[in-house]
Chains A and B, each alone.
Chain A
């Protein structure tokens, strides 16, 4: 019965963490390019009081007596579905339709990956993120350029002063991963490659790598499904409650046993 107490405690801890994840998803439901997370649970090891299939004197035990020791949170999975597109008409807002990520040069030299295409120009005219980190490959738009267009295949064009025809200023690249769900979230809409995500596969938008295409003047909403998150929240709350009932039941049984000899 002491097992029941710890088992229920493991359930409560797991549901607490579940609620933390749901709260974070809901808090980011309006964050551009945010990918919702889902907490994965696993059952813990079992105590074999009677091992199934063990030989008894005359026959084999058809079913054992295995008592589970609770649950644990195993991993958070990043849900990689497409978010809705939101028109902003800002020429440097770019949404990705597909699986790719923009690459961002972080101040510490490492590369971050993001789906949030809220880009701006810095004082040199380079395309940067809201935090000022340059987008890779670096594309500089001269101060005298007008009518910046970004095609769905990532070609950046602008009309320079005194010229009739637009000239090509650069080509945006996207990255994908063998296992995008294994990317590590860094905050500020940035993700980082890990051993589990694998090495990035680079390519131009619209290519054969399945990177997706770009939409200029749009931002991608988060893919948080608020209704589902609320349902998950209710379930987490009820599961927490039922585990606390187990603790109460175990405690009651303890006190009864203590009162056997009156």
Chain B
């Protein structure tokens, strides 16, 4: 009986964490290149005694928030008109050289720094296909679908679009940047298309975000009902009725 009580508590805690994740997704619904976080629940086997019975296994599996994964589906591509706003269609990331090392981003709101480098809004150099900072000579800039950056019609550099192995888990760092595990192989993404003059929006749409919110809310309600039943029906009966028997 008590294990059921704690299972419901664990479930409720997991739903509150899921609510936090859903809130972050909705708050970032307009953040360029934001990748939505999809949480998943996993059962947690408590009390694995010496001889776990089938009943024990079923009763003592708690649903906890197992973790979350970034969803890498495509976000909408919005036209901005700035020549150096770049959006990636397909798999891949832009590589950015930050003070803390190589980071990846899908937020292509880049511009030319006073020193003539292609940089992010935080003034960090964006890397070329050969992982070097990209310097842009003065003149009118155009970027082609293959990432080739031309100045006044003459090809200058190629903006690098990279992908990581499937098993490399990217972790979000904030400021629209993602960190790859150390010593992960960074490969060139050949299938990605770069759209100049556009920005990729978040891949979190408001409809799904709201549905998720509703679902979490209902599930939390169920956990709360379960807790109330355990509390009022079982514990109360045990404490109030039994002594009179």
Contacts and interface: CB of A to CB of B under 8 A. Distances in A.
Given A11-B27, A209-B138, A239-B30, A64 B67 contact: yes
A182 to B, nearest CB: 7
Interface stretch (A117-125, A149-157, A166-174, A243-251): A243-251
A196 B114 contact: yes
Interface of B is mostly: mixed
Contacts of A66: 37, 68, 171-172
Given A49-B17, A260-B231, A195 B114 contact: yes
Contact of A239 (B26, B171, B220): B26
Interface of A is mostly: mixed
B32 A40 contact: yes
Contacts, number: 219
Contact of A68 (B24, B109, B115, B220): B24
Interface in A150-206: 176, 178-179, 181-182, 195-199, 201
A178 B116 CA distance: 6
Interface residues of B, number: 69
Contacts of A112: none
Contact of B30 (A18, A44, A197): A18
| 9 closest cross-chain pairs (CB), A and B | A198-B114, A11-B27, A68-B24, A4-B23, A81-B81, A1-B16, A7-B23, A45-B174, A41-B31
Interface of B: 12, 15-17, 19-32, 34, 37, 39, 65-69, 79-82, 85, 107, 109, 111-116, 121-123, 138-140, 152, 167, 169, 171-176, 181, 206, 209-210, 213-214, 216-217, 220-221, 224, 227-228, 231-232
